[in-house]
């Protein structure tokens, strides 16, 4: 047999051997490796999914905790009473006078929260209306403007306007068990009417950031900056 024929025969023999034993080699060695790789990939996928779910759960818990903190008192009756008082104070701080406050009909939503609607009617200037809207939006509460109607008292551009404003707060079933909305404090020193700084006894229960409304005795003040107890 010539050298070339020997080489061809050897190659052919090797091919036959590979062809005959390849399935056994694959099942004995390669298949377990592929299965192990697939198991590793599947485990990685499950781990990533579990981590993503854990992150989502943490975020959801944080979101709900923030919502609970901003909720009106959980008892709808208490929530309605203190919300009307708070809105009355807010209107007075904004310069409104002779405000009519009408409670609306509460509505429970799937056992999760109760809506607390309140309607305010007054004759105010645009500046007073804007101040009320600003303070309302700055308040750290679960609430919204539901309906806003403004009617000019005369055809001219000046003078007061008649406002009918319906707002709606939320009282979550997991909300705070309290009978107040705005944080309260007592003065730690005498009040200087010419000063814009107040010294109070404690900042317990204050929102994490200003601005917010603070009750001191019968009065409501707007806090724009808070450092220590000043």
pLDDT above 60: residue 36? no
pLDDT, greater one: 1 or 138: 138
- Cβ partners under 8 Å of residue 147, min gap 6: 119, 164, 165, 166
More reliable by pLDDT, 109 or 159: 109
Answer yes or no: pTM beyond 0.85: no
Task: Report the pLDDT averaged over residues 5-18.
Answer: 50
Mean pLDDT of 32-59: 55
- Residue in the block written with tokens 């900056």: 225
- Quote the tokens at residue 97: 């006078």
Q: pLDDT > 90: what percent of the chain?
A: 22
What mean pLDDT do residues 113-121 have? 94
Residue 28: predicted pLDDT: 60
| pLDDT tens figures, 82-116 | 999 999 989 998 999 899 999 999 998 888 889 99
The predicted pLDDT at position 55 comes to 45
Measure the CA–CA gap between 142 and 124, rounded to whole angstroms.
25
pLDDT band at 192 (very low <50, low <70, confident <90, very high): low
pLDDT band for position 60 (cuts 50, 70, 90)? very low
Q: In whole angstroms, what is the distance from residue 96 CA to residue 82 CA?
A: 19
């Amino acid at each position: 047999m010539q050298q070339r024929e020997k080489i061809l025969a050897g190659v052919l023999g090797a091919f036959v051997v590979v062809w005959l034993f390849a399935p056994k080699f694959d099942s004995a060695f390669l298949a377990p490796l592929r299965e192990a790789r697939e198991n590793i990939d599947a485990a990685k996928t499950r781990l990533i999914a579990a981590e993503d779910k854990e992150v989502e759960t943490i975020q959801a818990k944080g979101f709900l905790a923030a919502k609970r903190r901003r909720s009106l008192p959980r008892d709808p009756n208490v929530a309605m009473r203190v919300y009307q008082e708070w809105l009355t104070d807010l209107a007075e701080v904004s310069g409104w006078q002779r405000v009519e406050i009408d409670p609306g009909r509460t509505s429970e939503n799937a056992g999760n929260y109760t809506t607390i609607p309140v309607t305010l009617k007054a004759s105010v200037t645009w500046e007073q209306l804007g101040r009320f809207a600003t303070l309302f939006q700055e308040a750290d509460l679960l609430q919204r403007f539901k309906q806003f109607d403004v009617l000019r008292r005369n055809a001219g551009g000046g003078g007061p306007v008649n406002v009918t404003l319906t707002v709606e707060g939320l009282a979550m079933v997991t909300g705070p068990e309290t009978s107040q909305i705005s944080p309260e404090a007592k003065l730690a020193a005498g009040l200087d009417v010419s000063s814009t700084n107040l010294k109070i006894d404690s900042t317990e229960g204050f929102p994490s950031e200003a601005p917010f409304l603070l009750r001191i005795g019968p009065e409501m003040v707007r806090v724009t900056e808070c450092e220590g107890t000043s």
